[in-house]
Amino acid sequence: MVNFDILEELMKRDRSVRRFDESFPVHESTLSRLVELTRYCASGRNMQPLRYRLVMSKEECEKVFPLLKWAGYLPDWDGPKPGERPTAYLVQCLDTRYGKDCLCDDGLQLQTITLGATTEGLGCCIIKAFDPAKLRDALAIPEGLEPRYVVAIGSPVEKVVVEPTDGTPDADIKYYRTADGVHHVPKRPLSELIVSKP
């Protein structure tokens, strides 16, 4: 059986990464293994409607990168500079033959992918801020497949630190980056997550 402490440590290491070592390639076999993990996720109505477009060539990565918005809480940052960009992406798509709603499948599978990548020493950033039509055109994604999320993947070169908020409901939860390049992510404490009995 998997030890709870091992799972907790993996969850702590699985952080959103926005700067990568661009000299480190992510191969198709690795992306396929990450998608394979999603087969074991729970699925609403067991419909399994999500599909993945694998992107790992330099040419296709260069098409995807300018279509993405990277960090809403860092308005003065335009995303990773050359040399620090992802070397692969997974584009999660909804197969609309099975409906317009995938219930909670997207989130379950995205977390599974990032956890799997973390075990391989990779970093990920789940991105929702993009124009689906432009992305579909750039990658020639077939009609009927609706891009929902992009997972940027690569070898991380930034340090991400999780720190507690002050525990108040109106605490500042915006991530930020300090002058030394460390990315800080405030997280609400356990005491705020558990609903107290009246």
Could you tell me which residues come within 8 angstroms of residue 5 by beta carbon, excluding any fewer than 6 positions away?
none
Determine what percent of the chain is predicted with pLDDT higher than 70: 100
- Domain 4-158: CATH superfamily, name plus number: NADH Oxidase (3.40.109.10)
Predicted TM-score of the model (pTM): 0.96
Nearest to 32 by CA among 77, 90, 114: 90
What span, in angstroms and rounded, lies between the C-alpha atoms of 20 and 156? 4
CB 159 within 8 A of CB 181: yes
Sketch the domain layout of the chain as residue ranges. 4-158, 159-198
Does 130 have pLDDT greater than 90?
Answer: yes
What confidence tens digit (pLDDT) does each residue in 51-67 have?
Answer: 999 999 999 999 999 99
* Top-tier CATH class for 159-198: mainly beta
What's the mean per-residue pLDDT of the chain? 96
pLDDT exceeds 90 at position 167: no
Which positions ≥6 away from 71 have C-beta within 8 Å? 18, 77, 79, 175
